[in-house]
Homo-oligomer: A and B are copies of this chain.
Amino acid sequence: MNILYDERVDGALHSVDRAEFLHTLQTRLPDLDILHAAEDLRPYECDGLSAYRTTPMLVVLPRHLEEVQSVLRLCHERKVPVVARGAGTGLSGGALPLEKGVLLVMARFNKILEVDPAGRFARVQPGVRNLAISQAAAPHGLYYAPDPSSQIACSIGGNVAENAGGVHCLKYGLTVHNVLKVEMLSVEGERMTLGSDALDAPGFDLLALFTGSEGMLGIITEVTVKLLPKPQVAKVLLAAFDSVEKAGRAVGDIIAAGIIPGGLEMMDNLAIRAAEDFIHAGYPVEAEAILLCELDGVEADVHDDCERVRVLLEQAGATDVRLARDEAERVRFWAGRKNAFPAVGRLSPDYYCMDGTIPRRELPHVLGAIAALSAEYNLRVANVFHAGDGNMHPLILFDANTPGELERAEAFGGRILELCVKVGGSITGEHGVGREKINQMCAQFSNDELTLFHAVKAAFDPLGLLNPGKNIPTLHRCAEFGAMHVHHGQLPFPDLERF
């Protein structure tokens, strides 16, 4: 599916003698694990966005900071691009390798260095899994809040690089709100510290700039994250609706009432049926939409909020509202949601997962528009998403073996993202831009804004060696792509041909 990408446009195409480079690397770093045989490289061809595949020139798996520094220095010397990779679970192709680049796998940096319950932080290496941090903090009654669905597998370095989200981000923020400090290496292998152990760091907020920069500004070698006290209790309400628009309006009503749920998730009928078939969560399969609303905190507070939310849901037209009777049912309700993607995957040979955000007030409108596009493109779509923060994940079902369906699915997806931009939202909530959405960036930003992004990139990496061709499109690419920048809601929907 490489149709959207053209290395001639975005890639750093330097001619390097692969054999000589490998020999130099082996000579300088005799202890470094290097993969170079075709069969060893194959597992690293893609990340979680498996439709895009490129065989890297070489894969290196360092164990020590000094090895990473030496690799970076050699690559800088030879002008060889470097793509960093953690667990490889990213969904936008941010860790897609380059044919003429080194893939720098940080998975072996997997130590939890410190858990400080009084300071409420954990200091970890970038290869530590997201869930492992919460597990290490659990004996102190603490946890790390951002919880992407891949949290069993994904690593914190990748979470920082992509500014990962999750079900609980509505209340507890994205990765950027939960990271205190990052130790990194510059493209030349120099050590730098972004952020601090204290409240705030003076100068420019490079930590926030770095978070979500998709491996384009430096290599993460250590992360200090905030830990939060575990809520005393958590309860979940499940509400059924006979239309997705009503469910969308209920979301706005809950937030407008001053309640901040721990999670507020929505699924439409296709997703409900798929999840119920797969997980037997106890969902009402006749409903057009369900909302799952989790309330967490201290007992009395949660009890009051549950009652207020129940009333709001009923006023918004819910046909049924159920409070999970016990912890087992609460976990079952969530299991359906957390497995919705694989569940929908059982309905169709292929699906394309989108990740756009919109202002909450636009939910009913955008859901209606997606239904209309679904008819227009003659492709089914299942909606599963973080409704509370307006982060949508429409899953477009298609069969890549039916000629034209892949292209139709991509065109449909592009239209959804442009719709998000048009209503004041953005083309990615938590999955990142990566390779996948680089063309849509041309719709999201003006040339002035893209030029500023490139200038900031050049401040860190003047030669453009770190993860080139991701995240920020060149102006040349945007011109080739032919996208019109959307500004002040004026999007002239472009023709299909450009996809």
Q: Is A455 an interface residue (CB 8 A)?
A: yes
Specify which of B199, B455, B458 is in contact with A460 (CB 8 Å cutoff): B455
Q: From A317-325, A331-339, A424-432, give the one contacting chain B.
A: A424-432
Q: From A30-38, A369-377, A402-410, A443-451, give the one contacting chain B.
A: A443-451
- Chain B residue with the shortest CB-CB distance to A170: B199
Q: Please name all residues of chain B whose beta carbon is closer than 8 Å to the beta carbon of A118 when the two chains form the complex.
A: 252, 255-256, 360-361
Query: Given the complex of chains A and B, what is the CA–CA distance between A206 and B455 in angstroms?
Result: 12
Query: Given the complex of chains A and B, what is the CA–CA distance between A217 and B433 in angstroms?
Result: 25
Q: Are A390 and B199 in contact (CB under 8 A)?
A: yes
Specify which of B211, B229, B359 is in contact with A205 (CB 8 Å cutoff): B211
- The binding surface of chain A is classed by DSSP as loop
Partner-B contacts on A (CB < 8 A): 117-120, 141-142, 163, 165, 169, 173-174, 176-177, 186, 190, 192-193, 196-206, 208-209, 211-213, 217, 229, 252, 255-256, 258, 297-298, 300-301, 304, 357-361, 389-391, 420, 424-430, 432-433, 437, 441, 444-446, 448-449, 452-453, 455-460, 471-472
Tell me, rounded to whole Å, the shortest Cβ–Cβ distance linking A249 to chain B: 10
Q: Please name all residues of chain B whose beta carbon is closer than 8 Å to the beta carbon of A192 when the two chains form the complex.
A: 446, 448-449, 452
Q: Please name all residues of chain B whose beta carbon is closer than 8 Å to the beta carbon of A428 when the two chains form the complex.
A: 200, 202
Query: Given the complex of chains A and B, what is the CA–CA distance between A48 and B149 in angstroms?
Result: 48
Q: Are A360 and B455 in contact (CB under 8 A)?
A: no
Q: Please name all residues of chain B whose beta carbon is closer than 8 Å to the beta carbon of A163 when the two chains form the complex.
A: 200, 205
Q: Are B390 and A433 in contact (CB under 8 A)?
A: no
Query: Given the complex of chains A and B, what is the CA–CA distance between A389 and B199 in angstroms?
Result: 6
Q: Please name all residues of chain B whose beta carbon is closer than 8 Å to the beta carbon of A460 when the two chains form the complex.
A: 452, 455
Q: Are A197 and B301 in contact (CB under 8 A)?
A: no
Tell me, rounded to whole Å, the shortest Cβ–Cβ distance linking A308 to chain B: 10
Q: Please name all residues of chain B whose beta carbon is closer than 8 Å to the beta carbon of A203 when the two chains form the complex.
A: 433, 441, 444-445, 449, 453, 471-472
Tell me, rounded to whole Å, the shortest Cβ–Cβ distance linking A295 to chain B: 12
- Chain B residue with the shortest CB-CB distance to A458: B459
Given contacts A203-B433, A212-B205, contact A198 B425 (CB under 8 A): yes
Query: Given the complex of chains A and B, what is the CA–CA distance between A217 and B209 in angstroms?
Result: 14
Query: Given the complex of chains A and B, what is the CA–CA distance between A217 and B424 in angstroms?
Result: 24
Query: Given the complex of chains A and B, what is the CA–CA distance between A429 and B165 in angstroms?
Result: 27
Q: Please name all residues of chain B whose beta carbon is closer than 8 Å to the beta carbon of A205 when the two chains form the complex.
A: 163, 176, 208-209, 211-213
Q: Are B202 and A426 in contact (CB under 8 A)?
A: yes
- Seed contacts A202-B428, A229-B258; 18 additional CB < 8 Å A-B pairs: A117-B256, A118-B256, A118-B360, A120-B255, A141-B258, A173-B177, A198-B390, A199-B429, A200-B212, A200-B391, A200-B428, A202-B427, A202-B441, A203-B444, A203-B445, A203-B453, A205-B208, A205-B213
Q: Number of copies of this chain in the oligomer?
A: 2
Q: Please name all residues of chain B whose beta carbon is closer than 8 Å to the beta carbon of A141 when the two chains form the complex.
A: 258
Query: Given the complex of chains A and B, what is the CA–CA distance between A173 and B174 in angstroms?
Result: 14
Query: Given the complex of chains A and B, what is the CA–CA distance between A56 and B358 in angstroms?
Result: 44
Q: Please name all residues of chain B whose beta carbon is closer than 8 Å to the beta carbon of A197 when the two chains form the complex.
A: 359, 424-425
Most buried by B among A186, A208, A430: A208
Q: Are B206 and A426 in contact (CB under 8 A)?
A: no
Most buried by B among A204, A359, A361, A444: A204
Q: Are A359 and B198 in contact (CB under 8 A)?
A: yes
- Chain B residue with the shortest CB-CB distance to A169: B199
Query: Given the complex of chains A and B, what is the CA–CA distance between A359 and B297 in angstroms?
Result: 26
Tell me, rounded to whole Å, the shortest Cβ–Cβ distance linking A206 to chain B: 7
Q: Please name all residues of chain B whose beta carbon is closer than 8 Å to the beta carbon of A208 when the two chains form the complex.
A: 176, 205, 208-209
Q: Please name all residues of chain B whose beta carbon is closer than 8 Å to the beta carbon of A174 when the two chains form the complex.
A: 199-200
Query: Given the complex of chains A and B, what is the CA–CA distance between A423 and B446 in angstroms?
Result: 44
Query: Given the complex of chains A and B, what is the CA–CA distance between A198 and B430 in angstroms?
Result: 12
- Chain B residue with the shortest CB-CB distance to A121: B359
Tell me, rounded to whole Å, the shortest Cβ–Cβ distance linking A468 to chain B: 15
- Chain B residue with the shortest CB-CB distance to A446: B192
Q: Please name all residues of chain B whose beta carbon is closer than 8 Å to the beta carbon of A300 when the two chains form the complex.
A: 298, 300-301, 304
Tell me, rounded to whole Å, the shortest Cβ–Cβ distance linking A366 to chain B: 11
Given contacts A196-B424, A304-B298, contact A448 B202 (CB under 8 A): no
